[in-house]
């Protein structure tokens, strides 16, 4: 869901993924996250099964796949040809297990209950999420070339003799996170953001490691809860290496937890995941 998201390291052919991988859907059974949403969940399970079959060696029939572009019909091609396949390792950059464990240890019973009732509460169930690196890498090798297919409705993959998409709707069903337009959030300063003033002073940037330390050391009950929400967002949803800087606007957003819960975290995670999936493995699309 990952962000989540993918990062591309050239030279070592490694891809880091944030929130979660496509193939954990079937094992975890996220049906209870759908809520009032209907449709496409059965289709999504079929897609997962097809992807798993394809990764184990299903042959492609690319000549039979095409997409209508106006009155023209052009063949859809793989971004990386069959003859150019290579071995690689997909790395999970989300600190899911350790972050959830830290939150459960740090929060009081009342704080944990507040968190469980929030927009992130259901995600505490993914503490034991398993990472399937070979499957993710295999899927990435089956990306459709953006030059031969429209990516407007989400990134597309060629699996068997079908073209499948990674759409916002699927991401919403899987994660249970809110989608919508991103609201304006002012840049935090010591004048307009108490969390920044009290825990990061005049720092112009804050890394994941610095945020983690402030969360660990915080003794103020209200601030523990606020920092905990930011901690979960950047360590689990938007996973990255700990030296990377966070978006400091999340500190300002967390000062009002009601507004924090209304923020379209699903849209943020999907946008990062989709953008980096598009350019993963291939320098031509950086």
Give the pair of three-digit tokens for residue 41.
Answer: 């969940």
Tell me which residue range forms the domain holding 73. Answer: 1-95+129-180+264-286
Task: Pick the closest to residue 34 from 233, 169, 224, 210 (CA basis).
Answer: 169
pLDDT digits (tens, 9 = 90+) for 134-160: 888 888 888 888 778 775 567 788 888
pLDDT digits (tens, 9 = 90+) for 260-276: 999 999 999 998 887 77
Residue 8 within a domain: yes
Task: Decide if pLDDT at 64 tops 80.
Answer: no
Q: Enumerate residues 6+ apart whose C-beta is below 8 A from 246.
A: 206, 207, 208, 211, 230, 234
Residue 140 within a domain: yes
The DSSP annotation for 86-123 comes to ---EEEE---HHHHHHHHHHHS-HHHHHHHHTSTTGGG
Residue 156 within a domain: yes
Q: How far apart are CA 88 and CA 48, in angstroms?
A: 21
Give the pair of three-digit tokens for residue 75.
Answer: 């063949």
Least confident span in 8-12, 234-238, 275-279 = 8-12
Give the pair of three-digit tokens for residue 255.
Answer: 């000062």
Q: Confirm if 139 and 55 have CB atoms less than 8 A apart.
A: yes
Q: Does an H or E element contain 269, and which?
A: helix 265-279
**Predicted pLDDT of residue 261:** 95
Torsion of CA 62, 285, 152, 77, to 10 degrees: -10
What's the domain count of the chain? 1
Residue 82 within a domain: yes
Question: 5 by DSSP, 3-state: which?
Answer: coil
pLDDT digits (tens, 9 = 90+) for 168-208: 888 888 889 999 999 999 999 999 999 999 999 999 999 99
Residue 7 within a domain: yes
Lookup result for tokens 């975890």: 28
Taking phi over 0 as left and psi of -120 to 50 as alpha, with beta for the rest, 203 belongs to beta
Residue 229 within a domain: no
**Predicted pLDDT of residue 4:** 34
Task: Pick the closest to residue 201 from 150, 238, 248 (CA basis).
Answer: 248
Residue 198 within a domain: no
Q: How far apart are CA 18 and CA 21, in angstroms?
A: 8
Residue 278 within a domain: yes
Peptide bond into 165 cis (omega under 30): no
**Predicted pLDDT of residue 49:** 41
């Amino acid at each position: 869901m990952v962000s989540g998201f993918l990062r591309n390291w050239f030279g070592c052919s490694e891809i880091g993924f944030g929130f979660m991988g496509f193939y954990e859907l079937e094992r975890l059974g996220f049906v209870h996250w759908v809520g009032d949403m209907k449709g496409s969940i059965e289709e999504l399970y079929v897609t997962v099964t097809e992807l798993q079959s394809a990764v184990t060696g299903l042959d492609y029939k690319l000549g039979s796949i095409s997409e209508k572009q106006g009155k023209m019909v052009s063949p859809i091609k793989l971004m990386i040809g069959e003859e150019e396949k290579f071995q690689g390792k997909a790395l999970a950059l989300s600190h899911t297990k350790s972050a959830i464990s830290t939150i459960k240890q740090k929060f009081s019973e009342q704080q944990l209950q507040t968190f469980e009732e929030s927009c992130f509460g259901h995600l505490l169930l993914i503490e034991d999420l398993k990472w399937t690196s070979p499957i993710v890498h295999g899927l990435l090798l089956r990306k459709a070339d953006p030059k031969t297919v429209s990516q407007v409705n989400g990134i597309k993959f060629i699996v068997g003799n079908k073209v499948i998409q990674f759409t916002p709707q699927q991401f919403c069903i899987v994660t249970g996170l809110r989608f919508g337009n991103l609201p304006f959030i002012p840049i935090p300063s010591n004048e307009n953001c108490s969390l920044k003033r009290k825990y990061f002073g005049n720092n112009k940037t804050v890394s994941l490691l610095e945020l983690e330390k402030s969360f660990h050391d915080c003794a103020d009950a209200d601030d523990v809860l606020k920092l905990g929400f930011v901690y979960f967002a950047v360590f689990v949803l938007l996973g990255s290496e700990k030296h990377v800087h966070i978006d400091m606007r999340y500190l300002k957003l967390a000062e009002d937890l009601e507004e924090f819960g209304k923020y379209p975290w699903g849209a943020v995670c999907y946008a990062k995941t989709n953008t980096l999936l598009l350019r993963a493995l291939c320098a031509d699309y950086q």
